[in-house]
């Protein structure tokens, strides 16, 4: 989450009227920035990870775990120290074990019980840098903890198991049903008080015409009532007009019902951003990483509980998607189109819908047939010189309305800035994000963000998944890998990734052969303009030289298990890990680094083949084995307290020597 | 005559099938597969525009295939067009590592010439004047992580004798002096061998490349010694005997047996080159874009002697 602007935020009825202006100005800023930055070349690989935490407060006397709303105090204290440290480092002061590292940065997040931490400066590809990631993550956790009350700690669960229940799950306690969220489960105070956040939540609700609606299928245990009717729903509230939502059928049978942005945007993710050498490479990575999004989502699954109930899905994604879904009934297809411009198939938070690389391997059959595009914006971008693929991408993002508009920003269009562009860009939460260089900074290049992964309980796991993705990008670029898959299949895969235990039991569409056809011998090396040869007769971008006709797109991919995708199958897809190892065998890696990398790859290999459990499975088992669990899907306060204590222990001991969590991390109780 | 086998850039030229196999197992599959697929690709492609780029066109041998090229320094299999642009960016953007495998049974006396030949081919292929790191692999040395003390078994067959290693190192030192090689390394040396070797060197190796089944088990003595001598321990997964005679014969043998059709099918047949084949050395080169970690170019050259004029092993 970037810097937070201050100003007077418009309420939806006013913001709505300014939407076109913001979009137009955003597009002009994009064009100005694109013209400035499209020729940027030879930026190094720099990358960064973002780790998000829940701040929990433990009450050992009452055996209760609560979310702490102390974010502002913690951040203030952290910022104070960061300034001290920077001065200290300049004066030669050092931090044991982190002498060459800058102090980590901490950022606010939507939830007032959340923190985000990033490394003090981005990582490079020097293999020594890769060794610092895990210890730096641990350092961040220590620093954060040091700025909290003694009974508070940062934990890396995706969601708090009892967020939105009737008990006092937050500290300090506030009652629900505030004017911004109008939720019957969570108070307005659950969100960061900065004006941006309540406005965002209120304007989503207002634009939508009702509260957001999250229905997650409940996990049916032996004693779970059937049909299950969420017992926490109050049908008799009459404080806000939106209280009628549940009387109009918002809460579905056999589902856990939630009604506020906090249930989604209060989830913790692990996001990785890469700097590409130039725009062309960035566009290529955006496309090639896109089919991996659902795969890594299923591999990192860690979200089996909502609002005090075990649910029948393993990941957070769709809940966030529903939590920020601002589509009107017309856009959703529930009412005939009268006032709105189009029906929109996906939420603003969803799997991505575009490919943007000018790659001759990109067949037009891969593109999303349901893509909604603002044709006027597309025309403006193309008139401004942008190519059709990229213009289509941004014209797709810009079908949305800006949600938070500050009236101060509407006085004059400043083409040196990117605020209006970012307004739309940063509220399109797709699983990949293509980021132009910031208008104000010359030293940052084109970047791609990989956003689908769930946060893991230990920093070992978080480092492993971060580094795995980095190595995959190097393998993609080195071997010129081709993971292209029709976008609708990736959309389906995203749904599949939600299934309980999808990592072992579900199958995903994936490309069978990631290699191109053999290049003419001694064709030049990879040029900055994509692959050196073409193998497609149906390229979406240009007319390639004649080559043998391709088979049907459907023959290029098949359904595979996560294990087959990650570890390979004997006569099919070679496997992501073998590809990464093949890359590592082609570069000079020192023994110590290779040993670290081997332990990371081993974790991922075993998650994929089932020898190690996902966080989701471990949490389910923890609940199932808890003496007070009644096999009725209810995750009580007592279980939650014990679970949070257990998670703290897993984070600290990492399952070593048979300690709790060994099934996640070690595979045997050694 | 000499046969110069090459793979061209294997990074973007079809499936590097090596990666379909378990990684930590030593392997020459990459070399064999990429040679084979380069031969196949060269035979099927129209090679006008490649012919005659470097030297007199082939045809001096009536039985030599058109996709090869007969030059002064040997028969190129396939023909190599060295005029193609080597690397996409300027030289200083790259880390170029070259590993030279001296093969078992080949007299050490030839290594001076072999080293120069091999390096020269790599420099021509990549269009560069120097390489950043040359690692030499002597035949017969096996690194054993479990047993750091007993690796000096000099009586093992194929084991390189110590003096010839030192002799070979002199050649590398002279190339270092000429600025062709920036850093030099060895492969599979244990701490004792390193300790014995270092006093005989003027330019010390900065790298010892070791192959470990489990790379987390490195003898402590080696770690400490390497640290003290500022030698970096790098990992690899190359095979010790990377190009055996039998494999070479199979690669170049008759087409109906899956070969490239270079060697004659029988002692009296007129369908290829007659005589014995004897691989001399293999060189692997890798060009990595430094600050992006992208492997842009990787390939192999291998040299084999063939015919009645195979040099006697003196």
Mean pLDDT of A323-345: 96
The residue among B305, B260, B297 whose CA lies nearest residue B39 is: B260
CB-side exposure of A589: number of CA atoms within 13 Å?
A: 29
Per DSSP, the residues of B265-294 read SSTT-SSSB-SEEEEEEEEEEEEEETTTTE
Rounded to a whole number of angstroms, the distance from the CA of A42 to the nearest CA of chain B is 9
Residues of A in contact with B224 (CB under 8 A): none
Could you read off the pLDDT of A398-429 as tens digits, one per residue? Answer: 999 999 999 999 999 999 999 999 999 999 99
CA A194 – CA A199 distance, rounded (Å): 9
Which of A339, A446, A450, A436 is closest to A397 using CA atoms?
A436
Instruction: Read off the DSSP letter of residue A575.
Output: -
The confidence score (pLDDT) of residue A414 equals: 95
Give the DSSP H or E segment for A88: helix A71-90
Highest-confidence range of A370-384, A429-443, B250-264, by mean pLDDT?
A370-384
Is residue A448 within 8 Å of A434, Cβ to Cβ? Answer: yes
Query: What is d(CA A135, CA A128) in angstroms, rounded to the nearest whole number?
Result: 12
What average pLDDT is seen over chain B?
83
Instruction: Give the H or E element holding residue B126.
Output: helix B111-126
Comparing alpha-carbon positions, the chain A residue that sits nearest to B43 is A521
Where is average pLDDT lowest: A105-119, A225-239, A318-332, B206-220?
B206-220
Mean pLDDT, rounded, of chain A: 92
Q: Is A568 on the interface with B (CB under 8 A)?
A: yes
Q: What is the pLDDT of residues A473-485, one digit of tens each?
A: 999 999 999 999 9
Residue A378: pLDDT above 70? Answer: yes
Question: What pTM value is reported for the model?
Answer: 0.93
B215 touches chain A (CB under 8 A): yes
- Mean pLDDT throughout A440-452? 92
Domain ranges within chain B, ordered by starting residue: 2-307
- Note the pLDDT of residue B311: 52
Interface test with A, best of B36, B235, B285 (most A CBs within 10 A): B235
Whether A578 and B19 lie within 8 Å, measured CB to CB: yes
- State the DSSP code for A123: B
Judged by a CB distance cut-off of 8 A, whether residue B224 touches chain A is: no
Is the pLDDT at A517 greater than 70, yes or no?
no
Residue with tokens 């390639």: A544
pLDDT band at B48 (very low <50, low <70, confident <90, very high): very low
Cβ distance B8 to A124 less than 8 Å, yes or no, reads no
Q: What is the 3-state secondary structure (H, E, C) of A158-178?
A: CCCCCCCCCCCCEECCCCCCC
Nearest CA in chain B to A480: B12
CA distance B37 to B64: 19
Which residues 18-37 of B have a C-beta within 8 angstroms of A? 18-21, 23, 37
Q: Does A479 touch chain B (CB under 8 A)?
A: yes
Evaluated on CA atoms A377, A378, A382, A386, the torsion sign reads: positive
For residue A208, the surrounding DSSP H or E stretch is: helix A196-208
pLDDT value of position B149: 47
Interface test with chain B among A41, A123, A471, A521, by most B beta carbons within 10 Å: A521
Mean pLDDT for A162-178 is 95
Q: What is the ipTM of this complex?
A: 0.91
- Distance in angstroms (rounded) separating the CA atoms of residues A119 and A62: 36
Give A168's contacts (C-beta < 8 A, 6+ positions apart).
A66
Is the pLDDT at B35 greater than 80? The verdict is: yes
Query: Which class for A657: exposed (0-12), middle (13-18), buried (19 or more C-beta within 10 A)?
Result: exposed
Give backbone dihedrals phi and psi of B2, rounded to 5 degrees, phi first: -100, 140
Note whether A513 contacts B298, CB cutoff 8 Å. Answer: no
Residues of B in contact with A605 (CB under 8 A): none
Q: Which residue of B has its CA nearest to A574?
A: B20
pLDDT at A36 over 80: yes
Contact A321, A308 (CB under 8 A): no
Q: Does A462 have pLDDT greater than 80?
A: yes
The CA distance from B166 to the nearest CA of chain A, in Å, is 25
Kindly calculate the radius of gyration of chain B based on its CA atoms and give it in whole angstroms.
Answer: 20
Residues 6+ apart with CB under 8 A from A548: A535
Residue contact A521–B85, C-beta within 8 A: no
Mean pLDDT computed over A316-340: 97
Question: In angstroms, rounded to a whole number, what is the distance separating the alpha carbons of residues B50 and B8?
Answer: 13
Cα–Cα distance for residue pair A234/A185, rounded to 1 Å: 9
Q: Which two tokens stand for residue A353?
A: 């819908």
For CA atoms A644, A646, A647, A653, the dihedral sign is positive
Residue carrying the six token digits 């709303």: A69
- What is the spatial distance between Cα A608 and Cα A605, in angstroms, rounded to a whole number? 5
User: C-alpha distances in angstroms, A304 versus A50, A349, A623?
Assistant: 22, 20, 10
CB of B211 within 8 Å of a chain A CB? The answer is: no
Using the beta-carbon criterion (under 8 Å), do A589 and B234 form an inter-chain contact? yes
CA distances to A225, A256, A264 from A253, in Å? 11, 8, 20
- Per-residue pLDDT band for B214 (boundaries 50, 70, 90) equals low
Listed ranges A69-73, A271-275, A530-534; the one with the highest mean pLDDT: A271-275
Hey, are the CB atoms on A525 and B218 less than 8 Å from each other?
no
Residue B265 has pLDDT above 50, yes or no: yes
The mean per-residue pLDDT over the stretch A96-121 comes to 91
Give whole-number Cα distances, B244 to A217, B103, B249, in Å. 61, 8, 9
Q: Chain A window 35-54: which residues touch B at a Cβ cutoff of 8 Å?
A: 42, 44-45
Q: Which parts of A435-538 fold into alpha helices (H)?
A: 459-479, 487-496, 502-505
Q: What is the mean pLDDT of residues B273-290?
A: 93
pLDDT at residue A525 greater than cutoff 50: no
pLDDT value for A516: 74
In the three-class reduction of DSSP (H, G, I as helix; E, B as strand; rest coil), residue A216 is classed as: strand
Q: Rounded to the nearest 5 degrees, what angle is found at the Cα of A396, between the Cα atoms of A394 and A399?
A: 110
B235 and A479 in contact by Cβ < 8 A? no
Q: What is the mean pLDDT of residues B68-96?
A: 90
Q: Which range among A439-443, A460-464, B167-171 has the greatest average pLDDT?
A: A460-464
* Chain B contact set for A582 (CB, 8 A): 16, 18-19, 23
Alpha helix (H) residue ranges in A300-413: 317-323, 329-332, 375-383, 388-397
Select the more confidently predicted residue: B53 or B68.
B68
Task: Say if residue B18's pLDDT is above 50.
Answer: no
Q: Looking at the complex, does the CB of residue A512 fall below 8 Å from at least one CB of chain B?
A: no
Q: Which of A459-473, A492-506, B33-47, B123-137 has the lowest mean pLDDT?
A: B33-47
Mutate which: A585, A596, A604, vs B, most B CBs within 10 A: A585
- Reply yes or no on whether the pLDDT at A251 is more than 70: yes
Element (H, E) at A489: helix A487-496
Confidence band, pLDDT 50/70/90 cuts, at residue A534:
very low
Of A526, A579, A595, the CB nearest to B12: A526
Instruction: Answer for the pair A50, A118: CB distance below 8 angstroms, yes or no.
Output: yes
Query: What are the backbone angles phi and psi of residue A321, rounded to the nearest 5°?
Result: -55, -45
Q: What's residue A439's pLDDT?
A: 85
Binning pLDDT at 50, 70 and 90, where does residue A10 land?
very high
Give me the residues of A, 84-143, that contact B with CB < 8 A. 124-125
Backbone angles phi, psi at A623, to 5 degrees: -65, -45
Helix axes A591-609, A459-479, angle to 10 degrees: 100
Q: Rg of chain A over CA atoms, in angstroms?
A: 24
Nearest CA in chain B to A517: B14
Question: What kind and span of H or E run contains A620?
Answer: helix A615-625
For residue A628, the model assigns a pLDDT of 97
The answer to whether the CB atoms of B294 and A477 lie below 8 A apart is yes
For residue A513, the distance in angstroms to the closest alpha carbon of chain B comes to 9
Residue A256 pLDDT > 60: yes
pLDDT > 50? residue A355: yes
Strand bridging mode B207-210 / B181-187:
parallel
pLDDT of res. B52: 47
Q: What are phi and psi of A656, to 5 degrees?
A: -70, 150
Chain centroid to CA A622: 26
Q: Which of B9, B19, B42 is facing A525, going by the closest CB pair?
A: B9
Q: Alpha-carbon distance A466 to B171, whole Å?
A: 44
User: How much is the average pLDDT of A97-105?
Assistant: 86
Can you list the positions of beta strands (E) in A333-431?
A: 349-350, 429-430
Once rounded to an integer, what is the mean pLDDT over residues B77-95? Answer: 89
- Pairwise CA distance, residues A316 & A269, whole Å: 9
Asked if B298 is an interface residue toward chain A (Cβ–Cβ < 8 A), one would say yes
CB spacing of A585 vs B23 below 8 angstroms: yes
């Amino acid at each position: 989450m970037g810097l937070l602007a201050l100003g007077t935020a418009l309420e939806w009825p006013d913001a709505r009227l300014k939407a076109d202006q913001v979009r137009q100005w955003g597009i002009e800023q994009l064009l100005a920035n694109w013209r400035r930055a499209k020729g940027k070349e030879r930026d190094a690989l720099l990358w960064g990870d973002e780790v998000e935490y829940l701040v929990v407060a433990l009450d050992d006397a009452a055996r209760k775990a609560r979310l702490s709303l102390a974010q502002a105090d913690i951040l203030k204290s952290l910022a104070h120290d960061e300034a001290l440290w920077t001065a200290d480092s300049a004066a030669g002061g050092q931090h044991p074990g982190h002498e060459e590292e800058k102090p980590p940065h901490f950022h606010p997040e939507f939830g007032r019980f959340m923190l985000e931490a990033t490394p003090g400066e981005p990582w490079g590809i020097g293999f020594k840098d890769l060794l610092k990631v895990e210890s730096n993550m641990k350092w961040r956790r220590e620093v954060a903890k040091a700025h909290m009350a003694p009974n508070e700690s940062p934990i890396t669960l995706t969601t708090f198991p009892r967020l939105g229940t009737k008990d006092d799950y937050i500290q300090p306690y506030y009652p629900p049903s505030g004017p911004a969220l109008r939720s019957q489960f969570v108070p307005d105070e659950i969100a960061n008080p900065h004006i941006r956040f309540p406005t965002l939540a209120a304007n989503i609700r207002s634009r939508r015409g009702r509260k957001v609606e999250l229905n997650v299928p409940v996990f049916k245990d032996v004693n779970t009532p059937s049909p299950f009717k969420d017992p926490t729903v109050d049908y008799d509230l009459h404080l806000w007009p939106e209280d009628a939502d549940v009387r109009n059928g918002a809460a579905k049978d056999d589902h856990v019902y939630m009604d506020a942005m906090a249930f989604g945007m209060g989830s913790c993710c692990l996001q990785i951003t890469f700097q590409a050498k130039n725009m062309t490479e960035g566009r290529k990575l955006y496309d090639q990483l896109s089919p991996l999004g659902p795969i890594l989502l299923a591999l990192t699954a860690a979200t089996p509980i909502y609002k005090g109930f075990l649910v029948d899905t393993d990941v957070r994604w769709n809940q966030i998607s529903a939590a920020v879904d601002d589509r009107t009934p017309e856009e959703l297809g529930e009412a005939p189109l009268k006032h709105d411009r189009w029906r929109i198939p996906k939420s603003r938070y969803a799997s991505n819908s575009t490919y943007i690389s000018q790659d001759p391997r990109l067949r037009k059959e891969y593109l999303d047939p349901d893509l909604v595009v603002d044709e006027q914006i597309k025309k403006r971008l193309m008139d401004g010189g942008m190519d059709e693929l990229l213009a289509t991408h941004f014209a797709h993002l810009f079908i949305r309305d800006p949600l938070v508009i500050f009236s101060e920003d509407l006085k004059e269009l400043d083409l040196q800035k990117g605020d209006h562009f970012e307004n739309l860009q940063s509220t399109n939460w797709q699983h990949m994000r293509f980021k132009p260089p910031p208008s104000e900074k010359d030293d940052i290049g084109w970047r791609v963000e990989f956003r689908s992964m769930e946060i893991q309980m230990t920093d070992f796991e978080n480092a492993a998944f971060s580094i795995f993705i980095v190595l995959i990008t190097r393998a993609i670029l080195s071997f010129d890998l081709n993971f292209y898959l029709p976008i609708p299949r990736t959309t389906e895969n995203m749904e599949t990734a939600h299934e309980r235990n999808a990592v072992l039991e579900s199958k995903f569409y994936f490309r069978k052969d990631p290699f191109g056809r053999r290049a003419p011998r001694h064709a030049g090396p990879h040029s900055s303009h994509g692959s050196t040869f073409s193998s497609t007769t149906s390229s979406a971008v240009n007319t390639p030289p004649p080559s043998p006709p391709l088979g049907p797109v459907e023959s290029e991919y098949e359904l595979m298990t996560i294990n087959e995708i990650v570890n390979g199958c004997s006569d099919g897809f070679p496997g992501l890990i073998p590809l990464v190892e093949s890359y590592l065998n082609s570069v000079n890696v020192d023994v110590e680094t290779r040993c670290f990398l081997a332990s990371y790859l081993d974790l991922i290999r075993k998650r994929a083949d089932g020898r190690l459990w996902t966080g989701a499975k471990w949490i389910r088992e923890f609940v199932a084995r808890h003496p007070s669990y009644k096999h009725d899907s209810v995750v009580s306060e007592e279980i939650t307290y014990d679970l949070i204590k257990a998670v703290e222990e897993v984070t600290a001991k990492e399952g070593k020597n048979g300690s709790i969590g060994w099934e996640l991390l070690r595979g045997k109780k050694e | 005559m000499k046969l110069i086998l090459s793979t061209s850039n294997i990074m973007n030229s079809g499936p590097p099938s090596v990666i379909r196999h378990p990684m930590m197992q030593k392997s020459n599959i990459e070399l064999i597969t990429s040679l084979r697929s380069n031969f196949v690709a060269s035979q099927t492609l129209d090679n006008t525009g490649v012919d005659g780029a470097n030297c007199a066109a082939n045809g001096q041998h009536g039985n030599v295939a058109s996709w090869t090229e007969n030059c002064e320094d040997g028969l190129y299999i396939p023909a190599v067009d060295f005029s193609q642009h080597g690397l996409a960016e300027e030289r200083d953007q790259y880390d170029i590592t070259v590993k030279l495998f001296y093969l078992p049974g080949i007299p050490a006396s030839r290594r001076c010439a072999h080293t120069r030949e091999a390096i020269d081919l790599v420099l021509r292929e990549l269009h560069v004047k120097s390489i950043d790191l040359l690692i030499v692999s002597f035949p017969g040395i096996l690194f054993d992580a479990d047993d750091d003390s007993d690796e000096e078994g000099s009586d093992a067959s194929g084991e390189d004798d110590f003096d010839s290693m030192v002799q070979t190192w002199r050649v590398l030192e002279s190339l270092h002096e000429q600025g062709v090689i920036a850093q030099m390394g060895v492969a599979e040396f244990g701490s004792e061998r390193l300790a014995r070797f270092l006093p005989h060197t003027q330019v010390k190796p900065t790298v010892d490349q070791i192959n470990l089944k489990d790379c987390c088990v490195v003898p402590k003595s080696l770690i400490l010694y390497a640290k003290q001598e500022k030698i970096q321990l790098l990992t690899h997964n190359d095979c010790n005997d990377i190009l055996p005679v039998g494999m070479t014969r199979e690669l170049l043998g008759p087409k109906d047996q899956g070969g490239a059709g270079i060697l004659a099918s029988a002692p009296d047949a007129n369908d290829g080159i007659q005589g014995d084949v004897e691989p001399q050395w293999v060189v692997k080169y890798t060009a990595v874009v430094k600050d992006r970690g992208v492997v842009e170019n990787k390939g192999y050259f291998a040299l084999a002697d063939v015919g009645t004029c195979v040099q006697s092993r003196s």
